Chain A
Amino acid sequence: MRRFLTSAIAAGALLLGSSAWAHHPFAAEYDANKPAHLEGKVTKVNWANPHAFMTVEGKADDGKTERWTVELGSPGALDKHGWKRNMVKTGDVVTVKGWYARDGKRMINAEGVKLNRTGREFDARSSYHEAAAN
């Protein structure tokens, strides 16, 4: 069992729901050496540019409830990947693949999100990420 870090910074990040800078290099906020897998219940979705965000909640190994902020691509990029604004509802269980924040904030930069209710996986990357990768 691993105990999760809690900090004032993490709480602040949840309140803000986004990074201090609207735009930032991936590596400034996320750790390319820390792949993330997270499964939990969606409690909030925020569709806005430059990034959409989801709040995912669940019980950690120690029984405590945790909330994670999941950074997605821009709404335009998500539209292109087949996302619909009313697709993910609060209470839905999702599985997120991505990258942890490098400073211990409870944030994940999502590469993909599976909606467990349907089993369908959606690309969650920004269009820039995708354009560079292809």
Chain B
Amino acid sequence: MRRAAVVVCLVAASSCSPSKSSTPPVAPNAMANTAPLLGDMKPMVSVKELMEYMIDPASDYVFDSVKTLVQPDGKVVEIVPKTDDDWKKLQVGAVTMLEGIYLLKVQRPFAPAGDVNNSVGDDANELSPTEIAAKVQKDPVEWNARIEALRNVGLQVLDIVKRKNTKDLWDATENLDEACEACHRSYWYPKEDANFYRTLDKRLHDTPAPKGAFTAR
């Protein structure tokens, strides 16, 4: 029974795992998958705080590791990790992300007490913590699959660090973007759907452009 559940989780995880990978994810340490916990896991912060103070800053190390800058003087600069410190920073991001995301398997509140997200009022577009909890309760397999998808990106980045291979970094940051966004669209702001964007597009196209060389507002 338990084995069947694990298989379901893995299948679901692979279905939403990043596709743009030139190398397979590094296999996690087998011992880590079988050894029992040495003690209790007690959550100290909500999912929202875990994301804001751990996962999101960790992901910035990865996102910021590769970019193309067109500078004011017209010079085009490609930013990639070059020094040992650069690679170490990327590794810090990947490790924090891939281990930190597993803390979402520890049940915890979705937001601090009293925080209902932007879930009430005219322009409410976010699910409330109660709605998110109900969604996860209804389909924990999806929740776990989203977690595994992000973890896979962390593994991909660790593999890139190991090989010091900058050419795969763009794919990794794109995979990271997709893994984050897929989860957020499902649990955080699913109301920003096709109708929402159609309304936006129509409003924008129906608004005449103002006159002026540099016009704003």
List residues of chain A with CB under 8 Å of any chain B CB: 2, 4, 21-23, 25-28, 32-40, 42-50, 58-61, 66, 68, 74-76, 85-86, 88-91, 95, 97-100, 106, 111, 126, 128-129, 132-134
For A49, give the chain B residue with the smallest CB separation. Answer: B173
Q: Which 9 residue pairs across A and B have the least CB separation, nearest first?
A: A58-B214, A48-B67, A25-B189, A45-B70, A49-B173, A47-B68, A133-B197, A50-B177, A35-B207
Bits for B52-64, please: 1 = Cβ < 8 Å to A, else 0.
1000100110011
CB pair A25 B126 closer than 8 Å: yes
How many B residues, CB 8 Å from partner?
Answer: 51
CB pair A38 B73 closer than 8 Å: no
The SS class assigned to the A binding surface is mixed
For B199, give the chain A residue with the smallest CB separation. Answer: A32
In the bound complex, what is the Cα–Cα distance between A40 and B191 (angstroms)?
33
B60 to chain A, nearest CB (A): 6
In the bound complex, what is the Cα–Cα distance between A89 and B72 (angstroms)?
9
Interface locus among B29-37, B138-146, B180-188: B180-188
List residues of chain B with CB under 8 Å of any chain A CB: 52, 56, 59-60, 63-64, 66-74, 76, 118, 123, 125-126, 170, 173-174, 176-177, 180-181, 184-185, 188-189, 192-194, 196-201, 203-204, 207, 209-210, 212-217
Q: Which residues of A contact B177 (CB under 8 A)?
A: 23, 49-50, 74, 76
CB pair B214 A37 closer than 8 Å: no
In the bound complex, what is the Cα–Cα distance between A89 and B69 (angstroms)?
11
CB pair A32 B201 closer than 8 Å: no
In the bound complex, what is the Cα–Cα distance between A76 and B118 (angstroms)?
29
Q: Which residues of B contact A48 (CB under 8 A)?
A: 63-64, 66-68, 173
Chosen A-B contacts, 13 in total, with CB atoms closer than 8 Å, are: A26-B125, A26-B192, A32-B123, A35-B203, A37-B207, A37-B209, A39-B214, A44-B69, A45-B68, A49-B177, A58-B214, A90-B73, A132-B196
CB pair B67 A46 closer than 8 Å: yes
Most chain B C-beta atoms within 10 Å of own C-beta, residue among A37, A40, A43, A68: A37
Q: Which residues of A contact B217 (CB under 8 A)?
A: 2, 4, 34, 36, 100
CB pair B70 A88 closer than 8 Å: yes
Contacts A28-B189, A37-B209, A128-B185 aside, 17 further interface pairs with beta carbons under 8 A come to A21-B56, A23-B184, A25-B189, A26-B200, A35-B207, A44-B72, A45-B68, A46-B70, A48-B63, A48-B64, A49-B174, A50-B176, A59-B213, A89-B74, A90-B70, A129-B197, A134-B194
For B51, give the chain A residue with the smallest CB separation. Answer: A21
Cβ contact of B118, chosen from A21, A23, A25, A126, cutoff 8 A = A25
For A45, give the chain B residue with the smallest CB separation. Answer: B70
Say whether, besides A22-B59, A25-B126, A75-B174, A32 and B184 are in contact (CB < 8 Å).
no
CB pair B192 A46 closer than 8 Å: no
Q: Which residues of A contact B59 (CB under 8 A)?
A: 22
For B183, give the chain A residue with the smallest CB separation. Answer: A23
Q: Which residues of B contact A106 (CB under 8 A)?
A: 216
In the bound complex, what is the Cα–Cα distance between A68 and B75 (angstroms)?
20
Q: Which residues of B contact A85 (CB under 8 A)?
A: 68, 76
